[in-house]
Amino acid sequence: MDRVAMISLHTSPLDQPGTGDAGGMNVYVVELSRRLAAQGIAVDIFTRATSSRLPPVVEAADGVLVRHVAAGPFEGLTKGELPGQLCAFAREVLRAEAVQPQGHYDVVHSHYWLSGQVGALARDRWGVPLVHSMHTMAKVKNEAMALGDTPEPLARVIGEEQVVEAADLLIANTDLEAKQLINLYDAEPGRVEVIHPGVDLSVFRPMDRAAVRRSLDLPEDAVVLMFAGRIQPLKAPDVLLRAVGVLLAQDPSLRSRLVVPIVGGPSGTGLEHPESLAQLSAELGLEDVVRFIPPVSQPDLARWCAAATAVAVPSYNESFGLVAAEAQATGTPVVAAAVGGLTTVVSDGRSGLLVEGHDAEDWARALRRLIDDPVLTARLGDGAREHAREFSWERTAELTLSAYHDARTLMRDEMSA
């Protein structure tokens, strides 16, 4: 195994996570690629160019090249319009490989269904296995929609079914995602492997909370209830704000020491009303406690997590929930919705608290437990650090490399059958 073609069509690993379409998948692609390169595997990441000013090739790390593919207008295309550019994108990916010696790539690893469509074509053209990571699935999202969100279109459902059928091997983030692939998409169980994403434990680590708070202009004795992620209905930051409203109604004295950082930018259907969360904050009378922080770098995100009393992850669905794992690695307990991969990432009662549903009263009750019981918060913080050690990118890369070899075996067996 010498070289991997990584396809991330709709979002570049170079983009800042936390806004637009950039999020946990961006982190996943770049961190996995870096760890594969550290093991001697060259990685080329193909992504759609979104500006004429972007160079054709950027070295993201030693052994990792990001290749910007021109497909459609550079700016103004929404994710929903990208299926119309699949042919143009695939043509340019095939052309990039055609100038290389035969057998240049050993495997194609695609991320999200749009990339999987291109990956399936490359698989057949190059005669190499296709490994695919879904990251999110339309059928799962449509079963657990946030109020006011838009259902995923039928075209995506059909496209995902085609990718599942074409892939030699599917990588699921959790056991639950593997079951969903099998039960909802008829994936062959023998072609699904569970590999958890990782956390950069050198970045997301315990820090001196008092010092970090001083550096972020946070009172050292504050109750800091934080949300980090893309601001869209799926991620449900409104649930945290409504819960905070309940907390303050129950105990007005909390207001003087409460800070609620919302770290991230609008994304997805949240782009239609980017001001909606600020409006909700005003309607609830929370303008004096809520701080809206633009998307930040990974090191700065680690500082915000380390400064928090708790990090809230109230999503309606998560295939994994990377920010929950990252927060826990800093020693901060997580209060998360008991959905999807969050039930794997957060160990209820050990590294954080899981909340059934999205009722503001229930969320306020869970947050109140941490506010009122410093001993519990400290115990969960210790458990969070311990639990986060189970997720490392080095381990993810080792298992993924093994999955690539498994995919080659499955492809050979299929061709010889």
Q: How far apart, in Å, are the Cα atoms of 360 and each of 225, 237, 357?
A: 14, 11, 9
Confirm whether residue 112 is marked as ligand binding.
yes
Q: How far apart are CA 278 and CA 238, in angstroms?
A: 10
To the question of whether residue 332 is assigned a binding role by annotation, the answer is yes
Is 318 annotated in a binding site? The answer is yes
Measured distance CA(286)–CA(240) in Å, rounded: 11
* 141 among annotated binding-site residues: no
Q: Is 16 annotated as a binding residue?
A: yes
Q: Is 23 annotated as a binding residue?
A: yes
User: What is the number of alpha carbons within 13 Å of residue 291 lying toward its C-beta?
Assistant: 15
**230 has binding-site annotation:** yes
10 annotated ligand binder: yes
DSSP 291-306: EEE----HHHHHHHHH
Sheet with 223-228: strands ordered across: 290-293, 258-263, 223-228, 310-313, 334-337, 352-355
Q: Is 22 annotated as a binding residue?
A: yes
Does 24 belong to an annotated binding site? Answer: yes
Whether 15 has a binding-site annotation, put simply, is no
Q: How far is residue 320 from each of residues 10, 315, 399, measured CA to CA in Å?
A: 19, 11, 17
Annotation-wise, does 381 bind a ligand? no
β-strand partners of 85? none
The verdict on whether residue 104 carries a ligand-binding annotation is no
Q: Among 65, 25, 18, 63, which residue's Cα sits nearest to residue 44?
A: 65
* Residue 136 marked ligand-binding: yes
In sequence order, the β-bridge partners of residue 66 are 45, 58
How far apart are alpha carbons 294 and 228 in whole angstroms? 10
Among 249, 246, 272, 256, smallest CA distance to 221 is for 256
Tokens representing residue 407 in the block: 């995919």
User: Nearest CA to 281 among 326, 245, 317?
Assistant: 245
Contact 245, 284 (CB under 8 A): yes
The reply to whether 404 sits in an annotated binding site is: no
Consult the annotation and say whether 26 binds a ligand: yes
Does 21 carry a binding-site annotation? Answer: yes
Chain centroid offset of residue 312 CA: 15
The response to whether 119 counts as a known ligand-binding position is no
Give the integer Cα–Cα distance in Å for 308 and 226.
6
Give, as one character, the DSSP assignment of residue 261: E
> Residues within the annotated binding site for 1D-myo-inositol 3-phosphate?
10, 21-26, 79, 112, 136, 156
Binding residues for Mg(2+): 308, 332
Summarize the annotated binding site as residue ranges.
Answer: 10, 16-17, 21-26, 79, 112, 136, 156, 230, 235, 296, 308, 318, 326, 332
Residues making up the binding site for UDP-N-acetyl-alpha-D-glucosamine: 16-17, 24, 230, 235, 296, 318, 326
